Amino acid sequence: MTAGPASLVIHINGWPGSGKLTIARHLAERLGARLADNHTLINPAEALFARSDPLYRSLRSAVRQSVFEHLEKAPGEQSFVFTDALSDDAADTRAFEDCAALARKRGARFVAVVIDCDVEENLKRLTRAGRRKLHKLTDPDVLLGLRRAHRLLRGKSDQLIEIDVTALGADEAAAAIAQRIAEPSAVR
C-alpha cells in the first residue's frame, strides 16, 4: 500500500507509568491519527489467561498479528500511533521492528518517540488510581527492577524523538512531539 507524504506510523516507547497512553491520546487527536496502545493488543489475552499459561502468549501474538495485517490494508493517508514499554532486548526489538515494517509496507514515515521521566515521578504516576482496572502495571518493585536491568529501546526509524516528560503535562508533551514531527528537517 502506498501512503501520502503525510502518513505516519508513530511508536511511543516509555517505562510503565510514564504517561505514554495519555500523551498518545493527545498526539493522535492533534494529528488525526488512530491509536493502538499496547494494552489494546494485550488485554484480550490478559482477560482470558494467566501470563504463565501458553495460551496467553499465543493469543497475544495472534491478536497483534491480526491487527498489523489489518492496518496494512487501511487507507494510505491514515496515520497510526502505537505505545509500548520496550527495552533493549531481542524480543522487544522484534516487536519494535513490526512497527517499522508496517510503516515500510504503508509507505509511511516511521517516527520513534522515547519518553522518560525521573524515577520519583514515574513511581507517582505508576500508582495512580485507575491503572489497575486497565490491567496496567502498578507494582513499584517491578518498575524499579525494569529500570535497573534494562534500557529503553531506541530502534532504527526515520526520526527519533527523545523527550523527558517529568515536568510536562500530557498535552504539553504531545504538542512538543507534534512540533518535532512537523519540523522541515524531520521530513525524509
Superfamily of domain 8-186: P-loop containing nucleotide triphosphate hydrolases (3.40.50.300)
Residues facing residue 57 across a β-bridge: none
pLDDT above 90 covers what percent of the chain?
73
Would the pLDDT of 130 be above 60?
Answer: yes
Banded model confidence at residue 132, pLDDT cuts 50, 70, 90: confident
Domain ranges of the chain: 8-186
pLDDT at 164 over 50: yes
How far, in Å, CA of 5 to CA of 118, rounded? Answer: 36
Query: And the C-alpha cell for 68?
Result: 498489523
pLDDT category at 110 given cuts 50, 70, 90 is: very high
114 and 15 Cβ atoms separated by less than 8 Å: no
Q: What is the dihedral of CA 24, 30, 33, 39, to 10 degrees?
A: 20
pTM score, whole prediction:
0.90
The C-alpha atoms of residue 175 and residue 179 are separated, in whole angstroms, by: 6
pLDDT-based confidence at residue 115 (cuts at 50, 70, 90): very high
pLDDT of residue 3: 44
Closest CA to 113 of 3, 24, 6: 24
